[in-house]
């Protein structure tokens, strides 16, 4: 990732309107900012959320609340708790997430 041509700035995430994204089960609420080609999001998954697709987008993802379970298409499974993160490159390893109790995430992609 190359970060360029972005002046110093502050984001008040509470002032960013959220968009709703239905999963196979549950809902994800995204607050999104774009900085050139970089997308930065605060995402909240409702309890019981299950993604409706295998994602191939690269991310750097930090769990700030709750618990996020991520399954890779090859069968490996991982759990993120608050303060834990993962990173994956574009088109590297298809993944999908779910949560029983809900989760809040900070994502850069």
Band of residue 23 on the pLDDT scale cut at 50, 70, 90: very high
Q: Measured between alpha carbons, how far is residue 95 from residues 14, 55, 76, 102 in Å?
A: 28, 5, 9, 18
For the chain, the domains span 19-108
Read off the pLDDT of residues 51-85 as tens digits, 9 standing for 90 and up: 999 999 999 999 999 999 999 999 999 999 999 99
Asked if residues 52 and 24 have their Cβ atoms less than 8 Å apart, the reply is: yes
Whether residue 1 is predicted with pLDDT greater than 70 in this model: the reply is no
pLDDT > 70: percent of the chain: 99
Band of residue 3 on the pLDDT scale cut at 50, 70, 90: confident
Q: Note the pTM of the prediction, 2 decimals.
A: 0.92
What integer is the mean pLDDT of 16-31?
Answer: 98
Asked if residues 30 and 41 have their Cβ atoms less than 8 Å apart, the reply is: yes
* CATH fold label, 19-108: Jelly Rolls (2.60.120)
């Amino acid at each position: 990732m190359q970060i360029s041509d972005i002046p110093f700035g502050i984001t008040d995430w509470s002032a960013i309107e959220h968009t709703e994204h239905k999963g196979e089960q549950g809902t994800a609420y995204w607050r999104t900012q774009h900085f050139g080609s970089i997308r930065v999001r605060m995402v909240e998954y409702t309890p019981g959320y299950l993604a409706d697709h295998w994602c191939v987008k690269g991310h750097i993802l930090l769990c700030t609340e709750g618990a996020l379970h991520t399954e890779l298409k090859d069968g490996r499974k991982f759990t993120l708790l608050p303060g834990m993160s993962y990173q994956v490159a574009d088109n590297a390893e298809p993944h999908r997430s779910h949560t029983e109790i809900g989760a809040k995430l900070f994502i850069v992609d």
